[in-house]
Amino acid sequence: MLLDVRNLSVEYVTPKGPAYAVNDVSFSLKKGGRLGLVGESGSGKSTTVLALMRLLRGGRIEAEAIDLDGRELTGLSDPAYRKLRFADMAMVPQGAMSSLNPVLRISEQMGDIFDDHGVRHGRSERRAILGDLLERVGLSANVQDRYPHELSGGMKQRVCIAMAIALGPDLILADEPTSALDVMVQKQVLATLGRVQRELGAGILLIGHDMALMAHFVDDLGVMYAGRLVETGPVRRLFAKPRHPYTKMLIDSLPSFERRGTFKGIPGVGPSLLTRLEGCPFHPRCPMATDICRTKRPDPRPVDAEEPRHLAACHLAEEVS
């Protein structure tokens, strides 16, 4: 296993009391594998990634274990974590557009990554290395001489991918890397991300809200709701036989070129993170909910005889169809 996360929780302190952003989330990712996490706003998917990177502002992280390629990360000191970032795991951030410093040339920002990790190069060697990185993400080598504002959104996102792969990490965490881009550019950038990840042999954890995009990119998919992982498994199994009503309803609600004038939304709104709901967090919106759903919280359990890795946190998983 490349990444093994056991019972990760993140709690924020707010003026109105603690907010439970992520609750007991467990998942694993094998070497070179692709795992997707989908969920709506407030589902905790971005918080999960930021917690793994230890880049959360103010949140309290608790985890039984976070194992990266045989190394336990939970007790690691902050300086050690700083060395880990980019070298072992790198992140393509959500607002890649705004995460580039507008007053520095691309070469300086990319160069900082090497400098921070004590990698020294001669002037021309550094140029060649940066040029090569940029070419790998489909940009020309001289993009390094430009400033961020001279680049389009897609190009900036590619620069961020180049920065993420600069030190050849084993794990890439991509937080909605394409959601701010135009449809066609989105496809190209996602393809680029997929290609460099394969070339590098790195594992990738992709965060997103677009189920259809995920369906075609990842091997395994996790569906998050109210800070909990409600269903995980191989993406095709999940789409073919969703075992959590929320997953099923999400898939059904996807628009396609097959249907016109039919709408299948999910009624109701997500729960507040400020209260820990009794029972299953989805029960107020679930059409199948029974008494047990309102009183006892379901834990993730195997729900597929043919696929032991397919887990769902639903009392009535077997009845979902």
Which residues here bind another protein, judged by CB under 8 A?
A: 15, 40-41, 137-139, 152, 154-155, 158, 182-195, 209-213, 215-217, 235-236, 239, 249-251, 253-257, 259-267, 269-270
At 286, list the tokens. 């679930």
Minimum distance, C-beta of residue 69 to another protein, in the bound complex (Å): 27
Minimum distance, C-beta of residue 302 to another protein, in the bound complex (Å): 21
Minimum distance, C-beta of residue 154 to another protein, in the bound complex (Å): 5
Please report, for residues 106, 159, 177, 209, 313, the alpha-carbon distance to residue 162 in angstroms, rounded to integers and kept in the order given: 11, 5, 13, 23, 37
Minimum distance, C-beta of residue 214 to another protein, in the bound complex (Å): 9
> Which CB sits closer to another protein, 123 or 149?
149
Minimum distance, C-beta of residue 194 to another protein, in the bound complex (Å): 6
End-to-end CA distance of the chain: 32
> Which CB sits closer to another protein, 167 or 251?
251
> Which CB sits closer to another protein, 236 or 301?
236
Backbone φ and ψ of 123, nearest 5°: -55, -50
Minimum distance, C-beta of residue 279 to another protein, in the bound complex (Å): 20
Please report, for residues 67, 82, 183, 276, the alpha-carbon distance to residue 70 in angstroms, rounded to integers and kept in the order given: 6, 18, 38, 34
Minimum distance, C-beta of residue 156 to another protein, in the bound complex (Å): 11
> Which CB sits closer to another protein, 128 or 254?
254
DSSP string covering 85-150? HHHTEEEE-TTHHHHS-TTS-HHHHHHHHHHHTT----HHHHHHHHHHHHHHTT--GGGGGS-GGG
> Which CB sits closer to another protein, 60 or 259?
259
Contact by Cβ (8 Å): 40, 209? yes
At 11, list the tokens. 């709690």
> Which CB sits closer to another protein, 125 or 199?
199
> Which CB sits closer to another protein, 155 or 312?
155
Residue 75's Cβ-side half-sphere holds a number of Cα atoms within 13 Å equal to 2
Handedness of CA 133, 138, 140, 144 (dihedral sign): negative
Backbone φ and ψ of 91, nearest 5°: -120, 135
Q: How far apart are CA 210 and CA 192, in angstroms?
A: 18
Residue 9's Cβ-side half-sphere holds a number of Cα atoms within 13 Å equal to 10
